[in-house]
Amino acid sequence: MTPHRTRNILICSGKGGVGKTTLTANLGIALARQGVRTAVLDADFGLRNLDLLLGLENRIVFTAQEVLAGSCRLEQALVKHKQEPNLALLPAGNPRMLEWLKPEDMQAIVGMLAPSFDVVLIDCPAGIEDGFKNAVSAAQEAIVITTPEVSAVRDADRVIGLLNIHGIKPIQLVLNRVRPKMMANQEMLSVNDVTDILALPLLGLVVEDEQVIVSTNRGEPLTLSGSGSPAAQAYTNVARRLQGEDVPLPDPAKMGRGLRAKLRRLIKTKIFRQQ
Amino acid sequence: MTLRDTIYRLLGLQPASATTARERLQLVLAHDRSDLNPELLEQMRREILEVVSRYVEIDLDEVDVSLETEDRVTALVANLPIRRAKAVAQPGVKATISLGVKGAGLAAGNAPSSPEPELASSAEATSDGATAAEAEQPAAQAIQPEPAAETASLEGSESLS
Ligand SMILES: Nc1ncnc2c1ncn2[C@@H]1O[C@H](COP(=O)(O)OP(=O)(O)OP(=O)(O)O)[C@@H](O)[C@H]1O
Ligand SMILES: [Mg+2]
């Protein structure tokens, strides 16, 4: 038997609001459903949200803060998901923790989680300041999430540079809020544009999906119900690929059903070729 | 996208916004990745000019020093049109230097393949000092795959002998 090794995976983006917490929650549930013992660690002490997206906000008694202070045991702070007992949340403590929290503290936390979990997903705060540095110090690999927008890609690039400095490996990319129609019309950076620029392997492609908002309203991640919504499938596939399964990526060009896209393709092939 | 945009784009009068986005990103990332602020870049530009000017007379109006990036590898590209060599005062010589330096790409990426540094010259310039047509061609921007390679390739129109 190979010795148990926990994968500590950082979910980060640089720019805020691109979908880190949503990915962490959905990926956490999806992995748990696939039989992986998963802990999700909210490293966004300033603006914690992971509890809310998982629908666990009312069940928090202790947090990482009490664990670190030694005033409770880890098991007391961990909140197990009722429907998916393979998943547990370690909630972030008080925002004032930011003042004293050190990389060693984050390392201590993941060290405590290691014996009981196969995967620890660390939901990183936006930015590249102390919160990011603390979180990155506890990880060995990372998932960078971005949207196909210039500002998000630029910030992702910055973060990738820092991850490289910290020796994080592998670093994989999730492209979120893809709008196939806009991509087909070349009104949005294409998947290749983003992967070329950032030079990262693509782990997943999540389309813009209203169901994401509906699911956050309820505190039930999309992957929980096994719903067939496009984003739910995408998150589930990210989990499978993360486990080493070879799941083909969808081709956004084929998703584009816009009339203009068709027109453009038609014109490109029928007219411009003749030159 | 408005109808006007669509028509303009189909007619090739305006690039798609995704194309514009990609180009703008590549430019800004070249600067971000090298961690060179415009001030440092300007200082470096002045010093490069100073060194090159010791050997050749440069057309200062046409000088272009910029950063380019591909596959997380950043290159410093300098276009320095040469008026004439200093040692041999021969009028009418104009050449373009392109300086490729492998930059501080943070991730391991494939450096773009590039031609060997070369010293190409041809006698095209007229002796009365008129600019040769070939001298107006943009210089090939050599990006050297070797670390710390600093190669000036002369692609000119006149023998500098
Ligand atoms: N694929 C998607 N389709 C539609 N909405 C999405 C999608 N992904 C994320 N969102 C929405 O984007 C918003 C930001 O998401 P989220 O909170 O996960 O981002 P974040 O990166 O964690 O933000 P922060 O940097 O503030 O922590 C949320 O309102 C979420 O519902
Ligand atoms: Mg968040």
> Domain boundaries in chain B?
36-160
- Res B156: pLDDT: 36
How far apart CA B105 and CA B101 sit, in angstroms, is 11
Test site for ligand 1: of A10, A13, A20, A22, most ligand atoms within 8 A of the Cβ = A22
pTM of the full structure:
0.75
Across the range B62-85, mean pLDDT stands at 79
Ligand nearest to the CA of A234: 1
A157 Cα to chain B: minimum distance (Å): 8
CA of B147 to the centre of ligand 2 (A): 39
A205 Cα to chain B: minimum distance (Å): 18
Q: Among A106-110, A111-115, B57-61, where is mean pLDDT lowest?
A: B57-61
Across the range A260-270, mean pLDDT stands at 55
Please give the backbone phi and psi of residue B142, each rounded to the nearest 5 degrees, phi first: -80, 130
* ipTM for the assembly: 0.78
Tokens of A48: 């914690």
Number of H helices, E strands in chain B: 3, 6
Q: Are A12 and A136 in contact (CB under 8 A)?
A: yes
Tokens of A76: 């007391």
Give yes or no for residue A229 CB within 6 A of ligand 1: no
- Res B145: pLDDT: 39
Give the H or E element holding residue A11.
strand A7-12
Give yes or no for residue A216 CB within 6 A of ligand 1: yes
Measured between CB atoms, which of B9, B21, B29 is closest to A157? B29
pLDDT at residue A256 tops 50: no
Tokens of A245: 């399964």
Tokens of A53: 């997206």
- Res B153: pLDDT: 39
> Domains of chain A (ranges plus CATH)?
7-274 (3.40.50.300)
pLDDT at residue B100 tops 90: no
- Stronger pLDDT, A270 or A195, i.e. the higher one: A195
- Stronger pLDDT, B46 or B119, i.e. the higher one: B46
- Stronger pLDDT, A42 or B62, i.e. the higher one: A42
Structure confidence by residue, pLDDT tens digits, A204-254: 999 999 999 999 999 999 999 877 899 999 999 999 999 999 999 988 766
CA of A22 to the centre of ligand 1 (A): 6
Structure confidence by residue, pLDDT tens digits, B113-133: 333 333 333 333 333 333 333
Pick from A231-245, A250-264, B42-56 the range whose average pLDDT is largest. Answer: A231-245
Q: Are A86 and A32 in contact (CB under 8 A)?
A: yes
- Res A18: pLDDT: 98
